[in-house]
Structure 1
Amino acid sequence: MDDLHRPQFAHLIDINGQNQTIHIPFEHDDFFSQIKQFTELYLTGKSQSSIMPLTDSLACAQILDQIKAKI
């Protein structure tokens, strides 16, 4: 897969051993889904996402802090 952060296609080998390329068009910028999720939560009065709950966000922040401390 080229461009792991924002792939547009992937090269695969199917179960018959044939090479395939799957095209994945880029439709939105990187923050689109986060902004959409936030808007939906805000409009429905929810304070936390089931997709990325607060505990997961805090865990990511702690991992980043640990990485930053080692740099």
Structure 2
Amino acid sequence: MPEGGLEAVRADDDVVSASRVRELEAKIRDLERLLGQKTMEAEILWEALDATRGKKPGWRLPLLPPVGSR
């Protein structure tokens, strides 16, 4: 451990405690899990949107009138 601290000081790196490293690794795991969930949700929604478009070809969002037409 002392050798690692000396090496970090020589390399001009920050010295971080092992508990802080574990805390940050846990946070990264949580964020990666959330990203995976959100990615999956987005894919499901895109598939549902594609399926809806296939069943109702006449369905469209209303177009806004041209600017200045009022």
TM-score (structure 2 length as normaliser): 0.30
User: Which structure features the higher share of helix residues?
Assistant: 2
User: Which structure features the higher share of strand residues?
Assistant: 1
**Taking CA–CA contacts closer than 8 Å with sequence separation of 6 or more, which of the two structures ends up with the larger relative contact order?**
1
TM-score (structure 1 length as normaliser): 0.30
Larger radius of gyration: 2
